Amino acid sequence: MLYWEKEIETLSRMGIEKVQVEKLNHIIGIAMQSPYYGNLYAGMGIKPGAIEKIEDVRKLPFTTKQDLRNNFPWGFLSIDKKDVVRLHSSSGTTGNPTVIFHSKEDLSNWANLVARSLFTAGIRDTDVFQNICGYGLFTGGLGFQYGIERLGALSIPAGAGNSLRQIKLMMDYGTTAAHAIPSYLTRLYDVFVSEGLDPRRDTKLHTFVIGAEPHSEEHRRRIEEMFGVKAYNSFGLSEMNGPGVAFECSYQNGLHIWEDAYIVEIIDPISLEPVPDGEVGELVMTSLDRKAMPLIRYRTRDLTRFLPESCPCGRTHRRLDRISGRSDDMFIVKGCNVFPMQIEGVLMKIPEVGTDYLITLETIKDNDELIVEVEVKREWFSGDLDKLDRLTREINRRIRDEVLVSPIIKLVEPGSLPQSEGKAVRVIDKRVKI
List the domains of the chain with CATH numbers. 1-328 (3.40.50.12780), 331-429 (3.30.300.30)
User: What are the pLDDT digits (tens) for 29-73?
Assistant: 999 999 999 999 999 999 989 899 999 999 999 999 999 999 999
- Residue of 215, 212, 170 whose CA lies nearest to 189: 170
| pLDDT of amino acid 228 | 97
Which pLDDT does position 212 carry in this prediction? 79
pLDDT, residue 161, reads: 87
Please answer whether residues 290 and 113 qualify as being in contact, where contact means their C-beta atoms are separated by less than 8 angstroms: no
- Output the pTM of the full model: 0.84
Residue-averaged pLDDT of the chain? 91
pLDDT at 422: 67
Q: What's the confidence (pLDDT) of residue 206?
A: 98
The residues, ordered by sequence, that sit 6+ positions from 41 with a Cβ below 8 Å of its Cβ are 28, 31, 32, 47
Cα 196 to Cα 243: distance, rounded to the nearest angstrom: 34
Q: Mean pLDDT per segment of 10 residues, for the chain of length 434 residues?
A: 93 97 97 98 93 96 95 97 94 74 98 98 98 91 97 96 96 98 90 96 98 84 96 94 96 96 96 95 97 97 93 96 77 78 86 87 83 84 77 90 87 82 78 70
Model confidence pLDDT, tens digit, residues 291-302: 999 999 999 999
Cα 226 from Cα 229, distance rounded (Å): 8
Residue 199: predicted pLDDT: 98
What CA–CA distance (Å, rounded) separates 336 from 320?
Answer: 27
Give the pairing of strands 207-210 and 298-304: unpaired
The three-class DSSP label of residue 400 is helix
- CA distance to 98, 139, 150, 227, 365, per residue, from 101 (Å): 10, 12, 21, 37, 49
Give the number of other Cβ atoms within 10 Å of residue 339's Cβ.
Answer: 19
Phi-psi region of 404 (alpha: psi -120 to 50; beta: other; left: phi over 0): left
Predicted pLDDT of residue 382: 64
Q: What pLDDT score was predicted for residue 91?
A: 61
Sign of CA dihedral 331, 332, 333, 336: positive
pLDDT at 383 (0 to 100): 62
